Amino acid sequence: MRHHSLPRPAVVHNGIIENYQELREELARAGCVFASDTDTEVLAHLIGLGLAGHGDLGRAVASALSRAEGSYAVAVVSLDNPGVVYGARKLSPLVLGVGQGENFLASDIPAFLPYTREVVFLEDGEMARIDAGSWQVFTVAGLAPVEKKPVRIAWDIQAAQKGGFKHFMLKEIFEQPRVIADCLAGRVDASRGLATLRELDDFPVPERLTIVACGTSYHSGLWGMQLLESWAKIPTRVEIASEFRYRDPILGPGDVALAISQSGETADTLAGMRLARERGAKVIGLCNVVGSTVSRDADRVIYTQAGPEISVASTKAMCSQLTLLLLLALHFGHKKGLAGEREAAVPLAGLQDLPALLEAALPGMRQRAKELARVYSEARSFLYLGRGLNYPLALEGALKLKEISYIHAEGYAAGEMKHGPIALVDPKFPTFALAPDDELYPKVKSNLQEVQARGGKIIALTNPGMDLRVDHVWEAPRAFGPLNTFLMLPALQLFAYEMADYLGKDVDQPRNLAKSVTVE
Ligand code: F6R
């Protein structure tokens, strides 16, 4: 039997085909022999059977996809006609890049940014056919043509290259002064004490706000909640999207959900948005990737404009999220007549000075991070402590360290230590403390004394002139109130970066992690 005469489609697949077992059994009964246990192979056989029947790859892809349940972004090619690629998506991102004499399918824009900036965003239920010189979009159901226009992306190629830095993560940490400046551009009138988010011009002030996000974006939400409550007096809760989506949350027409997502494609965050909408809430999306699913599914979208974030570990995206959350708190506060001109003028003026302050501080911060990474590189476990606005930062510092250096780390509210974790402290379990000069400083200081009394070593990130006696004091420049966060955050990122780099880890592509978590 000439096996190679059978049609041989090749499939690239992101996502999960949930009913693959059922399909696999059916295909096995039809004589298909499987070489792996993957759901992707099931899709390949399903397409192959269709192709063997009528010889039309497009029809075969569409009919296979109409049977697949779950999420997918697929690209399919057949050996009989290798110049033609079909692509389709459902709950998983897929974009089409339109080049000169070449076309592309990818799950993320930066993949083809060196070749083209013309992008066609595909929707669920759509299918694209590309060859070198042409592209068309059809519906999966019925193969009816769909009218699409390419969008020109403003990101440039340099933005998606390392630009002389050893890693994307380092480059992105050093981009943060520019990111803050870009977020503020056109949104701040410091002389009138006004933050204007035009995206929300005619959007009513929420009665209650539910922030839904994952990972680093969730930490941004925890930070933003504190300003939204104290400056805009909006009752705010922050939800881990994967938990929220399976709860029975109380939401109604006065509620607004704020979905925070760098990629705009995180499956749990998208599901959280849908749930909030089903319960009658309006949805604002705060995201970085233009045209992403969050931006398309939200009632209003605020773009963070941080440029492409390539490193898996999120850095500059968090900085941009924090900047916009601060502006959001001032914006809503102003609309409610709360953040008067005098009160808003101080943070706004401080914000405008931040890029230069941070730019000047970053090289010294990196040097300090490098020194400390060498001292602490043998630690097996780290505790990060903070209170108030620095509690989410403690969570973020721990997340950064564990995801890229694979050293266990736990972020904790400093005042919660005495309720259990303090039992862990010994000379081999160091603490990274966030202790800036704020109203909670005396409390943090006394928490640190408790750690020292148990022989724990401490790095304390603080401001110049504070009276801390710990193993390693790390001084960051002083800024106004919550703006200190923008100087603490890069120090945490750089410490994790230098630890991981010193330990020889793959900083930009840590094991087991993906940049966009498009499956649940
Ligand atoms: C951590 C990190 C992840 C993401 C999370 C959410 O460095 O990158 O924790 O923050 O997967 O991703 P987005 O913001 O794209 O929804």
User: pLDDT tens digit string along 423-470?
Assistant: 999 999 999 999 999 999 999 999 999 999 999 999 999 999 998 999
| Domain-terminating residue out of 140, 161, 182 | 161
- How far apart CA 103 and CA 112 sit, in angstroms, is 9
Query: Which atom of ligand 1 lies at the shortest distance from residue 400's CA?
Result: 7
- How far apart CA 141 and CA 154 sit, in angstroms, is 33
Tell me whether residue 344 is in a domain: no
Residue nearest atom 7 of ligand 1, based on CA coordinates: 313
Q: Are residues 15 and 153 in the same domain?
A: yes
DSSP 8: -
488 vs 34, which has greater pLDDT? 488
DSSP of 417-475:
GGGTGGGG-STTS-EEEE--SSTTHHHHHHHHHHHHHTT--EEEEE-TT-----SEEEE
DSSP of 193-254:
TEE--GGGTTPPPPSEEEEEE-HHHHHHHHHHHHHHHHHH---EEEEEHHHHTTS-----TT
Q: Are residues 323 and 213 in the same domain?
A: yes
- Do the beta carbons of residue 401 and residue 369 sit within 8 Å? no
Report whether residue 392 contacts ligand 1, using a CB cutoff of 6 Å.
Answer: no
- How far apart CA 437 and CA 227 sit, in angstroms, is 18
Q: How many CB atoms lie within 10 A of CB 185?
A: 9
Answer whether residue 344 shows pLDDT above 80. Answer: no
Tell me whether residue 68 is in a domain: yes
Q: Are residues 459 and 376 in the same domain?
A: yes
Strands (E), 315-414: 381-386, 408-413
Q: Are residues 157 and 249 in the same domain?
A: no
What does R_g of the chain's alpha carbons equal in angstroms? 25
Report whether residue 263 contacts ligand 1, using a CB cutoff of 6 Å.
Answer: yes
User: pLDDT tens digit string along 105-139?
Assistant: 998 887 888 889 899 999 889 999 999 999 999 99
Report strand pairing: 118-121 vs 103-106: unpaired
Q: How far is the CA of 353 from the centre of ligand 1 (A)?
A: 28
- How far apart CA 157 and CA 165 sit, in angstroms, is 15
Answer whether residue 274 shows pLDDT above 60. Answer: yes
CATH of residue 387:
3.40.50.10490
Q: How far is the CA of 462 from the centre of ligand 1 (A)?
A: 27
Q: Stretch 166-179: mean pLDDT, rounded?
A: 95
107 vs 77, which has greater pLDDT? 77
The length of the chain is 520
Cβ-based neighbours of 364, under 8 Å, separated by 6 or more:
none
Sign of CA dihedral 282, 283, 284, 289: negative
Tell me whether residue 146 is in a domain: yes
Q: Stretch 135-144: mean pLDDT, rounded?
A: 94
Going by pLDDT thresholds of 50, 70 and 90, the confidence category of residue 285 is: very high
Answer whether residue 145 shows pLDDT above 90. Answer: yes
- Do the beta carbons of residue 338 and residue 232 sit within 8 Å? yes
Tell me the average pLDDT of the chain. 91
- How far apart CA 279 and CA 448 sit, in angstroms, is 44
Tell me whether residue 4 is in a domain: no
Q: How far is the CA of 413 from the centre of ligand 1 (A)?
A: 21
- Do the beta carbons of residue 62 and residue 9 sit within 8 Å? no
Report whether residue 116 contacts ligand 1, using a CB cutoff of 6 Å.
Answer: no
Going by pLDDT thresholds of 50, 70 and 90, the confidence category of residue 339 is: low
The distance from CA 41 to its chain's CA centroid, rounded to whole angstroms, is 30
CATH of residue 150:
3.60.20.10
* Both structure tokens of 257: 């959900």
Answer whether residue 191 shows pLDDT above 60. Answer: yes
pLDDT attached to residue 2: 38
Phi, psi of 317 (to 5 degrees): -65, -40
Percent of the chain with pLDDT over 90: 71
Report whether residue 17 contacts ligand 1, using a CB cutoff of 6 Å.
Answer: no
- Do the beta carbons of residue 394 and residue 365 sit within 8 Å? no
Cβ-based neighbours of 453, under 8 Å, separated by 6 or more:
none
Answer whether residue 520 shows pLDDT above 80. Answer: no
In sequence order, what are the beta bridge partners of 259? 212, 285
Report strand pairing: 95-98 vs 103-106: antiparallel
Answer whether residue 331 shows pLDDT above 50. Answer: yes
Q: Are residues 305 and 426 in the same domain?
A: no
- How far apart CA 329 and CA 57 sit, in angstroms, is 52
The total number of structural domains that make up the chain: 3
* Both structure tokens of 486: 């923008």
Report the run of H or E that residue 9 belongs to, with start and end.
Answer: strand 9-17
Percent of the chain with pLDDT over 70: 97
Tell me whether residue 299 is in a domain: yes
Tell me whether residue 168 is in a domain: no
Report whether residue 220 contacts ligand 1, using a CB cutoff of 6 Å.
Answer: no
Provide the whole-model pTM: 0.81
Q: Are residues 373 and 317 in the same domain?
A: no
- How far apart CA 333 and CA 347 sit, in angstroms, is 13
Domain range spanning residue 305?
A: 197-339
Q: Are residues 214 and 80 in the same domain?
A: no
Alpha-carbon torsion, ordered 413, 417, 422, 426, to 10 deg? 40
Q: Are residues 376 and 297 in the same domain?
A: no
Q: Stretch 399-420: mean pLDDT, rounded?
A: 95
Phi, psi of 439 (to 5 degrees): -65, -20
Sign of CA dihedral 158, 518, 89, 284: negative
Q: Are residues 252 and 217 in the same domain?
A: yes
- How far apart CA 368 and CA 473 sit, in angstroms, is 10
* Both structure tokens of 379: 């630690």
Tell me whether residue 14 is in a domain: yes
* Both structure tokens of 275: 């749930």
Q: Are residues 333 and 367 in the same domain?
A: no
Which residue in 183, 195, 218, 165 sits closest to 306, CA to CA?
183
Q: Are residues 326 and 431 in the same domain?
A: no
pLDDT attached to residue 3: 42
Q: How far is the CA of 93 from the centre of ligand 1 (A)?
A: 15
- How far apart CA 269 and CA 284 sit, in angstroms, is 12
Report whether residue 269 contacts ligand 1, using a CB cutoff of 6 Å.
Answer: yes
Starting at the edge strand that comes first in sequence, how are the strands of the sheet with 103-106 ordered? 103-106, 95-98, 118-121, 151-152
Q: In this structure, which amino acid lies at residue 406?
A: Y
Q: How far is the CA of 83 from the centre of ligand 1 (A)?
A: 36
Q: How far is the CA of 439 from the centre of ligand 1 (A)?
A: 30
Q: Stretch 353-357: mean pLDDT, rounded?
A: 95
6 vs 203, which has greater pLDDT? 203
Answer whether residue 188 shows pLDDT above 90. Answer: no
User: pLDDT tens digit string along 207-261?
Assistant: 999 999 999 999 999 999 999 999 999 999 999 999 999 999 999 889 999 999 9
Phi, psi of 300 (to 5 degrees): -135, 145
Which residue in 122, 493, 111, 506 sits closest to 310, CA to CA?
111
Q: Are residues 491 and 386 in the same domain?
A: yes
Going by pLDDT thresholds of 50, 70 and 90, the confidence category of residue 328 is: very high
pLDDT attached to residue 1: 35
Q: How many CB atoms lie within 10 A of CB 333?
A: 23
Tell me whether residue 170 is in a domain: no
Q: Find the range with the poorest average confidence among 161-165, 194-198, 216-220, 302-306.
A: 161-165
Answer whether residue 197 shows pLDDT above 50. Answer: yes
